[in-house]
């Protein structure tokens, strides 16, 4: 392996790692080459000493518990917990060990959650996602039985989620958007509203109900109800009828100086409690910056 680049050398020496893991370890200073911080392009020579302090491999846990991270609990039972996610916090890591996620905070506060559900993706216990820029309620299972029961409710569209959004323009009446959604093949991370269901794109059914509840000088506050949970459903649907969410520059919304966030909040969720079989509703107060965005000139 004389002359091999350091990053390729490490991938060959540790076959269960990835190039991206090696790059992260190099950037974090966790790899030392001959007493100096490792550089991915530096070649290795016979007699070199390579010290690896920390290097992720396939199968390692995606979530690292973060004891210093706060978790705002809205409701709690022995089987599940509902927490209030702030805007700007990712729900789960996009790579193993990524800090600053809700999953990392949950792993420290409720470690039992990480042992149920999608444990190999960092979604252990977490039953549904919110976009990073969206604030509000996230429901999390604490036991395997609760996970199975609640996931079944989500799959059968029995969970009702209500949101509050501030959109550009004046929405004069309530309505429903029932167009399917598909991943945009030309724009990674963006969804397309499918007007023609005979398209070759793999699409997902989605229904979004909306009701105007307040008006500002140039914006509308909407209450939104969904039972489906397609990626970017509310954002893409509202933009398709000419009312993008404030701050949603991916779908045409304006980034406002009053609040550097997406003006979308998961305010209420209704489901059947897996322990009592009784209806349960959890509510999260709407952040005050959303009303500031509504009243902005």
Catalytic residues: 131
Distances (CA, A) of 290 to 24, 83, 173: 36, 19, 20
* Bridge partners, residue 282, by sequence: 269
* Nearest by Cα to 151 from 139, 135, 137: 139
Q: Alpha-carbon distance 273 to 159, whole Å?
A: 11
Where does 40-145 show beta strands of DSSP type E? Answer: 50-52, 73-76, 80-85, 117-118, 123-124, 135-141
Q: Judge whether 181 and 204 are in contact, CB under 8 Å.
A: yes
Task: Characterise 122 by phi-psi region: left (phi > 0), alpha (psi -120 to 50), beta (else).
Answer: left
């Amino acid at each position: 392996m004389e002359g091999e680049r350091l990053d390729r050398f490490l991938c060959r020496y540790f076959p269960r790692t990835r190039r991206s893991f090696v790059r992260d370890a190099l950037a974090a200073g966790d790899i030392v080459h001959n007493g100096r911080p490792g550089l991915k392009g530096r070649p290795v020579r016979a007699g070199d000493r390579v010290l690896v302090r920390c290097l992720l491999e396939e199968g390692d846990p995606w979530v690292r518990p973060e004891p210093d991270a706060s978790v705002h609990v809205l409701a709690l039972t022995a089987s599940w917990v509902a927490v209030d996610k702030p805007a700007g916090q990712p729900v789960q890591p996009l790579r193993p060990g990524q800090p600053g996620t809700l999953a990392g905070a949950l792993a420290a506060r409720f470690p039992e959650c990480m042992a149920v559900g999608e444990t190999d993706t960092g979604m252990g216990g977490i039953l549904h996602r919110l976009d990073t820029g969206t604030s509000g309620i996230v429901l999390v299972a604490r036991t395997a039985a609760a996970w199975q029961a609640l996931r079944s409710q989500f799959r059968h569209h029995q969970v009702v989620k209500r949101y509050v959004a501030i959109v550009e323009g004046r929405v004069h009446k309530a309505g429903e958007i029932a167009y399917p959604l598909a991943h945009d093949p030309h724009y990674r991370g963006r969804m397309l509203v499918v007007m023609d269901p005979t398209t070759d794109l793999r699409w997902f059914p989605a229904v979004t109900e909306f009701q105007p509840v307040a008006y500002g000088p140039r914006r509308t506050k909407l209450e939104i109800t969904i039972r489906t949970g397609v990626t970017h459903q509310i954002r893409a649907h509202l933009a398709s009828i000419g009312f993008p969410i404030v701050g949603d520059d991916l779908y045409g919304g304006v980034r406002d100086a009053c609040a550097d966030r997406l003006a979308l909040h998961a305010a209420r969720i209704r489901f059947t409690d897996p322990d009592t079989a009784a209806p349960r509703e959890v509510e999260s107060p709407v952040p005050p910056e959303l009303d500031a965005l509504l009243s902005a000139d």
